[in-house]
Amino acid sequence: MTTEKYQNSFPLPDESPEKIDKIMSDAYFGAQKFYLLKTALELKIFDYLSDPKTSEELSSILDLDPVLTELMLKSLYELGIISIASKNGETHYINTNGSDNYLKTDSKYSKAPSISASFNSMDRWVKLSEIMGSSKSEIMENVFFPEIIKRMANDAKCWELQKTVEYVSKFSEFKSAKKLLDIAGGHGLYGISLGMLNENLDAFVFDLPEVTVETKKFIEKYNAKNVDTVQGNFFTDEFGENYDVVFSSYNPGGKNPKVAEKVYRALNLGGIFVTKQAFPKLSSQSTSDNLNNMEWNFSSFNATGKGLVRYTFDTDLTFEEYVSYLEELGFEILETKPVYELIEFSEEMFPNNIIVAKKIK
């Protein structure tokens, strides 16, 4: 009698909550890691761990709770960002080579400013219900790009820049080139680095007028005497002519057929077009693709029409369409490669590809 009453009060639902619990606990764990790393950077933990320190030493220097400090250090160790060394029987924590290079604020290769900025973009997810109920915020290209290229310069010079430049410099067409154009070069580091590898080269960085103001600062910083800027808008302006190499990395016109035609006209016969762009699969349905597409759709550009899928714009071609279009224009495809292979990462994080095409007619 009693048992029957109990069962009627708590009838078992049709399905267990395991799936929902797992999604929520994974999301919570991701958020814990997010705030752990954000706080470690804000506290400049990696600046202090250039030399080995016990957790007591660190908590005393930074005036932090000793228990939480020790647990933070243990978590960073478990994530593989710091290592442990035993000294006089005591546990000391010290940066790995990776955190010394990329997470210390005063390192030449510090990613700390760009990581902090990306943590700040998470604010938009905090305000998601507000964003979903309002119309898209509009980004002005002439304000957005002069800022974002500083972050891109910071990230590029940590690895991808060197790997890309090394790759391009192996092509005989680059070795004999006299004139190079870096379209939408932004910071200009690609043009500047390529210019350093070929002393006979004059390199030109093409970008929006407000951006070339910043490009000039980079050119000056690296004393790149053979690099200059060209102000323009690739949707409305031509690039000029007689280029032996046209290079382009991650630009909003990088999959646009009209811009490809302008590249074709700008190149000398026998010259090469090297283009490194994001080519996301339009049909992909993974959770991370959908979330990234949501983020892409939080805002629109003032002048450039965004597509629905992240990193795409109106009238863009897919990777396969773009490659065929280059062939139709009179290019021979010398090589295509996923960027993660080019930069020797073990797995693809972004759907990026590099294409090297030679103007043959």
Ligand X SMILES: C[S@@+](CC[C@H](N)C(=O)[O-])C[C@H]1O[C@@H](n2cnc3c(N)ncnc32)[C@H](O)[C@@H]1O
The residue assigned the tokens 């006299």 is 178
CA distance 252 to 270: 26
Q: Which of 72, 184, 224, 267 binds ligand X (CB under 6 A)?
A: 184
Chain residues 297-326 in contact with ligand X, contact rule CB under 6 A: 304
Whose Cβ is closer to ligand X: residue 96's or residue 231's? 231
Chain residues 255-274 in contact with ligand X, contact rule CB under 6 A: none
DSSP-assigned states of every residue in 184-231: T-TT-HHHHHHHHH-TT-EEEEEE-HHHHHHHHHHHHHTT-TTEEEEE
Least CB distance to ligand X at residue 304 (A): 6
> How many residues of this chain bind ligand X (CB under 6 A)?
19
Whose Cβ is closer to ligand X: residue 188's or residue 271's? 188
Least CB distance to ligand X at residue 347 (A): 21
DSSP-assigned states of every residue in 320-346: HHHHHHHHHHTEEEEEEEEHHHHTT-S
The verdict on 101 binding ligand X (CB under 6 A) reads: no
**Among the candidate windows 192-200, 205-213, 217-225, 350-358, which touches ligand X by CB under 6 A?**
205-213
**Among the candidate windows 3-11, 38-46, 183-191, 327-335, which touches ligand X by CB under 6 A?**
183-191
CA distance 112 to 50: 15
Reference 302, options 226, 206, 235; nearest CA is: 235
Chain residues 142-171 in contact with ligand X, contact rule CB under 6 A: 145, 149, 152, 156
Least CB distance to ligand X at residue 313 (A): 9
Reference 263, options 336, 251, 343, 153; nearest CA is: 251
Least CB distance to ligand X at residue 355 (A): 15
- Residues facing residue 191 across a β-bridge: none
H or E segment and range at residue 21: helix 18-42
H or E segment and range at residue 90: strand 90-95
Q: Which amino acid is it at 282?
A: L
**Among the candidate windows 120-128, 179-187, 195-203, 318-326, which touches ligand X by CB under 6 A?**
179-187
Whose Cβ is closer to ligand X: residue 93's or residue 247's? 247
Least CB distance to ligand X at residue 272 (A): 17
Chain residues 13-72 in contact with ligand X, contact rule CB under 6 A: none
Least CB distance to ligand X at residue 340 (A): 16
Whose Cβ is closer to ligand X: residue 247's or residue 331's? 247
Whose Cβ is closer to ligand X: residue 81's or residue 339's? 339
List the x/- string, 217-256, binding to ligand X by CB under 6 A: ----------------xxx-------------xxxx----
Reference 303, options 236, 239, 247, 209; nearest CA is: 236
Least CB distance to ligand X at residue 310 (A): 12
Taking CB atoms, the residue at the shortest distance from ligand X is: 186
Degrees, nearest 5: CA angle 277-124-135: 90
Q: Which of 57, 141, 289, 295 binds ligand X (CB under 6 A)?
A: 141
- Residues facing residue 117 across a β-bridge: none
Cα–Cα separations (whole angstroms), residue 291 to 8, 96, 221, 279, 332: 41, 32, 38, 17, 37
Whose Cβ is closer to ligand X: residue 250's or residue 331's? 250
Whose Cβ is closer to ligand X: residue 72's or residue 211's? 211
Extract the tokens encoding 219: 């050119």
Specify the DSSP class assigned to residue 22: H
CA distance 177 to 119: 41
Q: Which of 73, 177, 180, 186 binds ligand X (CB under 6 A)?
A: 186
Least CB distance to ligand X at residue 188 (A): 8
Least CB distance to ligand X at residue 154 (A): 10
CA distance 183 to 205: 6
> What residue ranges bind ligand X (CB under 6 A)?
141, 145, 149, 152, 156, 184-186, 207-208, 211, 233-235, 249-252, 304
